[in-house]
């Protein structure tokens, strides 16, 4: 796994020690001002993720789940608090440095796939590598390897319209894996799938977590996803109100409802 250079970090505050913690957030606040009303989307959130952990963030619509994912991953800036990823303070990185950090150290999976419709599965997966300057030969090899990990080696040349919903989501997971990320952020990854496909995607994420030690933070309404996680973090009104350790999460099953 490639290491991130910490030279851009200029804060005088010490980085978080590498004690197995991959994400450390403290007092995170985010307010949206519509011009008529201010909405406190996050109201002092504290959260820690251990390396290799699979965490499900759950709660009613509008509770701040997606905002939390966006702020922890650096897609959105916070108004107060601190976020460290692998000991790096996101506040100490410029916009350009955060973009590079996300590209090199993070993977993203979204509900609606965000695939280029005219590109094949392998072309969608390799695109980010090509834009980052990876040679076409290496990019194609790594993209095919990633598709193999998600069980789509035989569908590599198919465009999204020729794939099922579950297969499209597998392509997005392959795309998230292709850079060997430290963490994958998944926002409602089963939200647009039927129950069978949702179970397949949940099992795939669990397998990747167990076999490769990949860290996942998953925003979801799907209790079946929560049951397969190591921990459920419950949110309400922009705050973490409960955390539940799932003792049976390591039991491999194929019938979680």
Q: Is residue 250 part of a domain?
A: no
This prediction's pTM: 0.86
- For residue 249, pLDDT over 60 is answered with no
Encode pLDDT of 8-66 as tens digits.
Answer: 333 333 344 457 999 999 999 999 988 888 999 999 999 999 999 999 999 999 999 99
Order the strands of the 54-58 sheet from edge to edge: 106-110, 183-187, 215-219, 54-58, 231-236, 239-245
Asked if residue 10 is part of any domain, the answer here is no
Q: The CATH number of the domain where 166 resides is what? A: 3.40.50.300
Distance in angstroms (rounded) separating the CA atoms of residues 87 and 105: 13
- Inside any domain, residue 256: no
Q: In this structure, is residue 204 part of a structural domain?
A: yes
Task: Give the pLDDT score at 19.
Answer: 76
Residue 11: inside a domain, yes or no? no
Which residues make beta-bridge pairs with 106? 183
At residue 241, does pLDDT exceed 60? yes
What does the pLDDT read at residue 34? 82
Whether residue 118 lies inside any domain: the answer is: yes
**1 found inside a domain:** no
Instruction: Show the tokens assigned to 77.
Output: 């800036």
- Structurally, the chain folds into a number of domains equal to 1
Q: pLDDT tier at 2 (50, 70, 90 boundaries)?
A: very low
Domain that holds residue 77: 21-245
Q: Is the residue at 253 inside a domain?
A: no
Arithmetic mean of pLDDT, 193-217: 94
6 vs 159, which has greater pLDDT? 159
pLDDT digit string, tens, across residues 179-200: 999 999 999 999 989 999 999 9
CA-CA distances (angstroms) from residue 188 to 95, 168, 224?
26, 14, 12
Strands 21-33 and 80-85: antiparallel
In this predicted structure, what is the pLDDT of residue 93?
Answer: 94
Average pLDDT over residues 59-77: 96
Q: What is the pLDDT of residues 90-123, one digit of tens each?
A: 999 999 999 999 989 999 998 888 999 999 999 9
């Amino acid at each position: 796994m490639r290491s991130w250079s910490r030279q851009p970090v200029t804060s005088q505050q010490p980085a978080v020690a590498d004690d197995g913690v991959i994400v450390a957030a403290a007092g995170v606040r985010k307010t949206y001002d519509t011009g008529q009303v201010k909405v406190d989307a996050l109201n002092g959130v504290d959260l820690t993720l251990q390396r290799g952990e699979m965490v499900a963030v759950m709660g009613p619509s509008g509770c701040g789940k997606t905002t939390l994912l966006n702020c922890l991953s650096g897609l959105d800036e916070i108004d107060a608090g601190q976020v460290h990823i692998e000991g790096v303070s996101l506040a100490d990185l410029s916009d350009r440095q955060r973009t590079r950090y996300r590209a090199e150290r993070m993977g993203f999976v979204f509900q609606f796939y965000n695939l280029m419709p005219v590109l094949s599965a392998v072309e969608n997966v390799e695109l980010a590598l090509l834009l980052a300057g990876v040679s076409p030969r290496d990019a194609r090899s790594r993209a095919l390897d990633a598709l193999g990990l998600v069980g789509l080696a035989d569908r590599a040349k198919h465009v999204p319209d020729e794939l099922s919903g579950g297969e499209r989501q597998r392509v997005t997971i392959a795309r998230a894996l292709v850079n060997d990320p430290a963490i994958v952020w998944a926002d409602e990854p089963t939200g647009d799938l039927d129950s069978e496909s949702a179970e397949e995607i949940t099992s795939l994420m669990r397998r990747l977590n167990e076999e490769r030690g990949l860290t996942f933070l998953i925003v979801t309404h799907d209790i079946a996803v929560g049951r397969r996680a190591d921990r459920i973090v419950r949110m309400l009104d922009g705050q973490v109100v409960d955390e539940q350790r799932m003792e049976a999460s390591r039991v491999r099953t194929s019938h979680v409802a």
